[in-house]
Each structure stands twice: as structure tokens, then as C-alpha cells.
Amino acid sequence: AQTVTQSQPEMSVQEAETVTLSCTYDTSENNYYLFWYKQPPSRQMILVIRQEAYKQQNATENRFSVNFQKAAKSFSLKISDSQLGDTAMYFCAVRPVAQKLVFGQGTRLTINP
């Protein structure tokens, strides 16, 4: 079975700062994919970024990047130059090939003006 742990229930930073959300996971599979989803107050689930486990290069999407440490089973999300619109709940998730997507508990991120 897969598990995902997000150890920071809440975080708060000032606008324009950089913030890192942590995520660790456990899976016995060798081939899997990792995702970060954002859930703003509108409660939509929005894909932020994804990482393929067999790729060593860390994924980036504009201001969002990940630090993927496969041996440590760690998948943190870095948000650079944070904006008020980044305020949301963030979920880390792992999906082994041909299996279900398993989510962490979520981190509530608040960006303060």
C-alpha cells in the first residue's frame, strides 16, 4: 500500500517570499508518478506539477518547482515569489503505474499581503 505524509498542516508567509511544502511518501513500486494539487477556496482541485519517478531532473512550472529525492522518498514543492492567489490547500499525491492516486493530508498555505 502507498502512503503520503505532509507534516505541515498549516503554513503562512509574506507575499513575494519563497515557501517550501514538504511531502514524504512510501511505496514498494519502482515505477510511479508524483503530483502536487492546489485547492483554492473555490475548492477546485488544480494540478500544479507532476514528476515521473524515473526522471532524475526536477520538474518546474513557472514559479513552482519540486525537489525530488527518490532514495529518501521525498517530494517537496517550492513556490517562488509567492502571490496572494497562491493561498490554498496543497495536496501531495503518488500514483504507482496502473494503481490509484493516493493523497496526503494537505497543507493549508496562506500568503499574507
Partner 1 sequence: EAQVTQNPRYLITVTGKKLTVTCSQNMNHEYMSWYRQDPGLGLRQIYYSMNVEVTDKGDVPEGYKVSRKEKRNFPLILESPSPNQTSLYFCASSPDSINSPLHFGNGTRLTVT
Q: Which residues bind partner 1 (CB under 8 A)?
A: 4, 6, 9, 33, 35, 42-45, 47, 50, 52, 91, 95, 97-106
| Nearest CB to partner 1, comparing residues 15 and 61 | 61
- CB of 11 vs partner 1, minimal distance in Å: 16
Q: Least distance to partner 1 from the beta carbon of 109, Å?
A: 15
Distances (CA, A) of 15 to 42, 60, 87: 20, 20, 10
Q: What is each CA distance from 6 to 45, 85, 88, in whole angstroms?
A: 17, 21, 15
Measured from the CB atom, the residue of 45 and 84 that comes closer to partner 1 is 45
Q: In this structure, are residues 93 and 104 in contact, taking their beta carbons and an 8 Å threshold?
A: yes
Rounded least distance, CB 42 to partner 1, Å? 8
Residue in 91, 10, 80 with CA at minimum distance from that of residue 50? 91
* Residue nearer to partner 1 on the CB measure, 16 or 97: 97
